[in-house]
Amino acid sequence: MPEVQFEVNGESVRLTAKPHWTLLDVLRNELNLTGTKCGCEMGDCCACTIILDGRACNSCLVLAAELDGSSVLTIEGLSKDGGLHPVQRAFVDHGAIQCGFCTPGMVMSTVSLLNRIPNPSKDEVRLRLAGNICRCTGYTKIVEAVMAASKAMRCGDGIIK
Amino acid sequence: MIEFNAIGKRTPRIDAVEQVTGSAQFLPDLKFPNMLYGAILRSTIAHGRILNIDTSRAERLSRVKAVITSLDYPTACVGFYMGVANKECLVSDKVRFIGDDIAAVAAESQESAQEACSLIKVDLEPLPAVFDPEEALKPCAPLIHDDSPGNIAGEIHKEFGDVADGFAASDKIFESSYRTYAAAHCCLETRGTIAEVDVHGRLTIWSTTQIPHVLREILSMVLNLPVGKIRVRKAYVGGGFGSRQSPDPIDLICALLALKTKRPVRLIKDRIEEFTTDRSRYPMIMTLKTGMKSNGSIRACHADILTDAGAYHDQGITITSHALSRIDHCYRIPCVRMDAKVVFTNKVYGGAFRGYGNPQITFAIESQMDEIAEALGIDPLELRIINACHEGDVAAGGARITSCGLTESLNRSASAVGWEDKRGRSNKRGIGMACFVHSGGGGAWAHGGNFSSAFLKVEYDGSVDLITGVPDVGQGSKTTLALIAAEVIGIPVADVRVHSGDTGIAPVALGARGSRETFLGGNAVKLAAEDAKRQLQDRAAFILGVPVEELGSIQGRIFVKSKPAAFVTIAQAAAKTMHEQASAFPMGIPVVASACYTDPVSEMVDLVAGCGNPCPTYTFGTQIAEVEVDTDTGQVTVIRVVAAHDVGKAINPMAIEGQLEGSISQGIGFALTERVIWEKGVVKNPKLTDYNLPTTMDISKVISILIETNDPEGPFGAKGIGEAGLIPTAGAIANAIYDAIGVRIRDLPITADKILDALEEKAGNE
């Protein structure tokens, strides 16, 4: 069984991965990082979205054995020192959460989106988040929150005042 | 106008930070020492007699700790209505749908549990199966339950007023049939249960339930354990929408495995298992016969429903009855007749889904209203205004309307959308409207009364713990109830902690269902908070030396109204001790309150034949959908939906908007894309992508108009809003499609192929 070494939320992890383990299995079962949710195990819902080497991806579709040398950011690693990331703040303030099960994945997809496209149009947001299923909100407030987070992050970076 | 301190303001969920940081724990996130993993062996055929079950090979696996079949627990049935429940948690004689529960295993790992299931040998004698409700009624149809001749699960026959007279007095009679199919809830979190037994033999069930206390009651009945030995708890729950208002066999199976192994057992359905074994929306075939005067007033209506119950009883009869009951109090109809048959078929059984039968019947009613309007040459808006119910009305079937914003919702939605200008342009863009009435705060009479209860304690720092049996499954009831407590006591909502969904600490409530959390739960919280406030004011009056009547409270202070500078803080009042210089530990004499609210308005109504007022409040509204139809592809795009809803009083407008936006998204799915597709009892699309759920690409602009009618019995005038948004959406979309391209589709979902077929037929006719 392959031994892999990778980074999760800035901390080094070394483990022996069973061949069938996914990154989602490792996060939830081995590392107790249960903020990443499992909605389908088929890549259909994106509830398990994390950021792997800078890109959002479904952790249920990544085999743990492939992780050697990678860097993983999960929802637990997003906010530091008890504060909230601007995306998290926007989701809270805009009522973009109901049951909250899709929220960690939705937030991670949004963070990845805004890292790549800091100033997206609403249509771009809709396109980029189309894989993340939410059954509660109807998405309206999620898109509002993403637009607000985009603005806040750009203001924070000094791009827009 | 009364100024409110907490309610009526757009308030983020009080638990949003937990949810957005991943620290909110859902059931699969819970871990227990020594936990076993459960799995269920399910039927692979739709109908068959069980000849033998051989579990010996499975039992020989060292990592397997228990294997159970119905032989271990004979005839243990679960269902929402235990009086009619006929779904054995593990079947004994026959399997009746693909996915029916045959045996269950608890093992050291999920893989071992699955492996053990694959080693259980089941000898089944296949029996002829029937999948269509009309086929199931035929004399030659295979019989699914020996005690249900003709496959009839139940019948409803009610008549209020003389319908024959009503039709005789009508100028024109309209009759047409409408059909809806199964839609799945698709909660993002699949259903799960974890059961554990303590050293006293007390059982704790962690469940993704909407009904902790009712589930406890059901488990108590089936397991023959006193309720004091069962504690039902929920973690965060990833959606419900009605699916979790029924107990599931896994709740009971998990309990049985834990009782047998004396170890915690976890049983969580995977996505395909959820699609193939969880209860979806009841398919209905609905025929409406409506007698009209030529001036546009409705004289009589006869509604007839055939409901496909699937393989077992759950809520087929009550949901059909609830659908029928909506016939007579959206519009004034002097006489109504309601008939229904609920029929067993060899498919997974249906259940409650947001609206409780109302989205189905409202699609039929509102489609027909537009058909009638066109035939009579009356504008659909005008036809609805002519017939709309009003405050003070008593419906033919007994519903008493104590507040009603229907006409206002019609006028305001029409004005917001520009009804007159946009209607009938026939440029492949169209608009259509649909109204609805929905029951609020009901559905509880089967439990002997319509009530909710709450405990409340004020800590000596002035913060409050609110303990309620009302479970939050995502709809935001914790925040709504916190706002009510904060408003009454006069503290910021951030100072209220809500503990819910645990029968071990919370007083009885009847669940998150029937749009009842705000109305019933809110009233109970309001009563408890008022009691706590009285206690605090008595103390403040003593400290300040003024009569209680002269005090007001706001933002954590109790002050003298004539002299606001004279005040004590809530914390000072709460921390009041027996002696002024009592101690260095000023814990205060506790302020505790409890209340039970029993709705004084509604009454027990016999489902099958009775007349009366089953619910304490009724919500009304109008939605207008604007669509664009691509006549080459049949694709329908919903551009926007104006949703004008009578909410009574908006306790948290942001949460209500969220409920409406989410409901409307589900309504668009119900109208256009969502259907559980069966072929010979096999679900052909048991995945989220194949099922065609709405995504961000399907958002339509929702314009919410909240109409506050101040219900006389609601907490601060509020009604329930959890289900309402989904109810009229499909009817509004069907009518908008007709306005756009002139074709009337009478069955849902209105998929592209149906549109293209109808366009072709229309072209052929022209």
The shortest C-alpha distance from B613 to chain A (Å) reads: 31
Decide if A10 is inside a domain: yes
Q: Which helix (H) or strand (E) covers residue B617, if one does?
A: strand B617-629
Q: How confident is the model at residue B582 (pLDDT cuts 50, 70, 90)?
A: low
A120/A99 same-domain check: yes
Between strands B701-707 and B636-646, the pairing is: parallel
Contacts of B188 in chain A (CB under 8 A): 37, 39, 45, 47, 99, 101-102, 133-136
For B353-380, the three-class secondary structure string (H helix, E strand, C coil) is CCCCCHHHHHHHHHHHHHHHHHHHCCCH
Contacts of A138 in chain B (CB under 8 A): 658, 661-666, 694, 699, 702
Kindly tell me the sign of the dihedral angle through the C-alpha atoms of B521, B524, B527, B533.
Answer: negative
The shortest C-alpha distance from B128 to chain A (Å) reads: 33
A63/A115 same-domain check: no
Beta bridge partners of B95: B48
Which residues of chain A register pLDDT less than 50?
A: 158-161
Does the beta-carbon distance from B16 to A143 stay under 8 Å?
A: no
Nearest residue on chain A to B691, alpha-carbon basis? A44
Does the beta-carbon distance from A139 to B665 stay under 8 Å?
A: yes
Average of per-residue pLDDT across B139-154: 97
Which CATH number is associated with domain B16-23+451-598?
A: 3.30.365.10
**pLDDT tens digits, B392-426:** 999 999 999 999 999 999 999 999 999 999 988 77
pLDDT score at B554: 84
Domains B16-23+451-598 and B284-444+603-765 agree in fold: yes
A57/A97 same-domain check: no
Domain ranges of chain B: 16-23+451-598, 32-127+186-277, 284-444+603-765
pLDDT score at B707: 98
Window 112-151 of A: residues touching B by CB (8 A cutoff) are: 125-127, 129-143
Query: Is residue B197 left, alpha or beta, with left meaning phi > 0 and alpha meaning psi from -120 to 50?
Result: beta
pLDDT score at B533: 96
Decide if A161 is inside a domain: no
What is the count of structural domains for chain A? Answer: 2
DSSP string, B712-732: SSSGGG----TTGGGTTHHHH
Cα separation, B448 vs B602, whole angstroms = 12
Contacts of B21 in chain A (CB under 8 A): 35, 75-76, 78-79, 84, 88
pLDDT score at B583: 56
Is the bond leading into B616 cis (omega within 30 degrees of zero)? no
Does the structure show a pLDDT above 70 at B277? yes
A116/A137 same-domain check: yes
A136/A115 same-domain check: yes
Average of per-residue pLDDT across B108-134: 97
DSSP string, B190-229: PPEEEEEE-TTS-EEEEE--S-HHHHHHHHHHHHT--GGG
pLDDT score at A159: 45
Full residue range of the structural domain in which residue A65 is found: 3-77
Share of chain B above pLDDT 70, in %: 98
Nearest residue on chain A to B690, alpha-carbon basis? A44
The shortest C-alpha distance from A12 to chain B (Å) reads: 21
Mean pLDDT, rounded, of chain B: 94
Average of per-residue pLDDT across B701-712: 96
Q: What is the CATH number of the domain that holds A150?
A: 1.10.150.120
pLDDT score at B587: 65
A56/A11 same-domain check: yes
Cα separation, B638 vs B735, whole angstroms = 12
**pLDDT tens digits, B324-364:** 999 999 999 999 999 999 999 999 999 999 999 999 999 99
Please tell me the pTM assigned to this model: 0.96
- Nearest CB to B22; choose among A75, A134, A136: A75
- Nearest CB to B689; choose among A44, A136, A142: A44
Tokens of B706: 């909240």
Does the structure show a pLDDT above 80 at B445? no
Does the beta-carbon distance from A93 to B236 stay under 8 Å?
A: no
A8/A73 same-domain check: yes
Strand segments (E) across B429-550: 429-440, 451-458, 464-468, 496-500
- Nearest CB to B697; choose among A79, A126, A142: A126
Q: Tell which wins on pLDDT, B607 or B645.
A: B645
A126/A62 same-domain check: no
Q: How confident is the model at residue B590 (pLDDT cuts 50, 70, 90)?
A: confident
pLDDT score at B469: 92
Tokens of B340: 């229904």
- Nearest CB to A130; choose among B236, B237, B695: B695
CB-count burial class (<10 Å; 0-12, 13-18, 19+) for B531 = middle
Decide if A129 is inside a domain: yes
- Nearest CB to A97; choose among B13, B187, B473: B13
Contacts of B473 in chain A (CB under 8 A): 99
In the listed set A77, A100, A120, which residue is the last one of a domain according to the structure? A77
- Nearest CB to A140; choose among B661, B688, B689: B661
Q: What is the CATH number of the domain that holds A72?
A: 3.10.20.30
pLDDT score at B737: 98
Decide if A121 is inside a domain: yes
Q: Which helix (H) or strand (E) covers residue B490, if one does?
A: none
A33/A69 same-domain check: yes
Average of per-residue pLDDT across B15-24: 96
Window 70-89 of A: residues touching B by CB (8 A cutoff) are: 74-76, 78-79, 84, 88
pLDDT score at A160: 42
A90/A73 same-domain check: no
Average of per-residue pLDDT across B156-174: 97
**pLDDT tens digits, B196-212:** 999 999 999 999 999 99
A26/A43 same-domain check: yes
- Contact yes or no for B573/B558 (Cβ under 8 A): yes
DSSP string, B524-547: HHHHHHHHHHHHHHHHHHHHHTS-
Q: How confident is the model at residue B586 (pLDDT cuts 50, 70, 90)?
A: low
Cα separation, B436 vs B417, whole angstroms = 18
Q: Which helix (H) or strand (E) covers residue B479, if one does?
A: helix B477-489
Q: How confident is the model at residue B446 (pLDDT cuts 50, 70, 90)?
A: confident
Which CATH number is associated with domain B284-444+603-765?
A: 3.30.365.10
Average of per-residue pLDDT across B277-301: 97
Q: So what's the architecture of B32-127+186-277 in CATH?
A: Alpha-Beta Complex (3.90)
Contacts of A140 in chain B (CB under 8 A): 661, 699, 701-702
The shortest C-alpha distance from B237 to chain A (Å) reads: 7
Does the beta-carbon distance from B271 to A44 stay under 8 Å?
A: yes
- Nearest CB to A103; choose among B20, B658, B696: B20
In the listed set A21, A48, A77, which residue is the last one of a domain according to the structure? A77
pLDDT score at B578: 60
Cα separation, A31 vs A12, whole angstroms = 12
A51/A100 same-domain check: no
Nearest residue on chain A to B472, alpha-carbon basis? A99
pLDDT score at B1: 62
Does the structure show a pLDDT above 80 at B9? yes
Decide if A55 is inside a domain: yes
